[in-house]
Amino acid sequence: MLTIALPKGRVLEELIPLFAKGGYSFPSEWFTSSRKLVFTLPEQGFTLFLAKPMDVPTYVEYGVADLGIVGKDVLLEAAREVYELLDLRISPCRLAVAGKPGAEPALYPRVATKYPRIAERYFKERGQQVEVIFLNGSVELAPLTGLAERIVDIVSTGKTLRENGLVELERITEVTARLIANQVSYRLKREAIQTLAERLGKAVEGEVSA
């Protein structure tokens, strides 16, 4: 049996059809409309559980889950000791710096974000001094209220920025969902993990159908 930590939310909705393409079927309503967190699927050889995206790398690093699926943004921010096995190419978006258009660049700007590690590193690499302020969400509010001049956040359709009168200023990195593995599980359950990774890989390439 492989235990797989899946992220609640947007990525999960795109994962269900990808797993189906790889030949793994499970009723999608189990994930979308239920409050249940753990699903045992003996026929597929999986136990699946649903975690907050930012917690998925934690479950995988500690070996509670052999595998996990999570966005590259979360993987970079969590900085956990896990193997990244596969780019699933779903849930594409980007990490970007955004702010009000035409704002004068501040000498020591405040940057609000859910991704403090990524933001610190990005500005440090550019030799820019900033004060990073951690927020749990609705980060676009920060420049509107004067909490911060800039934000570092995910941009997907750009709708949230547009509707709040903000613009993307710099692109940090492209983001897609990744398959990650616990380092010990990867050795001890190599065959099962590779079978799953290969089938998902082919599903990503559009080479298989159940």
Residues within the interface to ligand PRP (CB under 6 A): 137-140, 153-160
Rank residues 89 and 190 by Cβ distance to ligand PRP and give the closer one.
89
Which lies closer to ligand PRP via its Cβ, residue 69 or residue 154?
Answer: 154
- Residue 60 CB, nearest approach to ligand PRP (Å): 21
Q: Which is nearer to ligand PRP, 31 or 186 (CB)?
A: 31
Query: Which of 62, 193, 60, 41 lies closest to 74, judged by CA?
Result: 60
Q: How far is CA 202 from the centre of its chain?
A: 21
Using the minimum distance from each CB to ligand PRP, give the nearer residue, 11 or 203. Answer: 11
For the CB of residue 74, give the shortest distance to ligand PRP in the complex, in Å. 11
Which residue lies nearest ligand PRP, judged by its C-beta? 137
* Measured distance CA(115)–CA(76) in Å, rounded: 9
Are 152 and 97 spatial neighbours (Cβ–Cβ below 8 Å)?
yes
Q: Give the residue with the Cβ less far from ligand PRP, 145 or 157.
A: 157
Least distance to ligand PRP from the beta carbon of 140, Å? 6
Do 71 and 8 form a contact (C-beta atoms < 8 A)?
Answer: no
Q: Which of 208, 187, 196 is nearest to 45 (CA)?
A: 196
Question: Smallest gap, in angstroms, from Cβ of residue 68 to ligand PRP?
Answer: 18
What is the token pair recorded at 180?
Answer: 């990650």
Using alpha carbons, list the distances in angstroms from residue 129 to 69, 109, 123, 125, 132. 33, 7, 7, 10, 10
Give yes or no for a contact between 84 and 75, defined as CB atoms under 8 angstroms apart: yes
Q: How far is the CB of 157 from ligand PRP (least distance, A)?
A: 3
Q: Which is nearer to ligand PRP, 33 or 157 (CB)?
A: 157
Distance CA 122, CA 9 (A): 27
Q: How far is the CB of 156 from ligand PRP (least distance, A)?
A: 3
Distance CA 129, CA 197 (A): 41
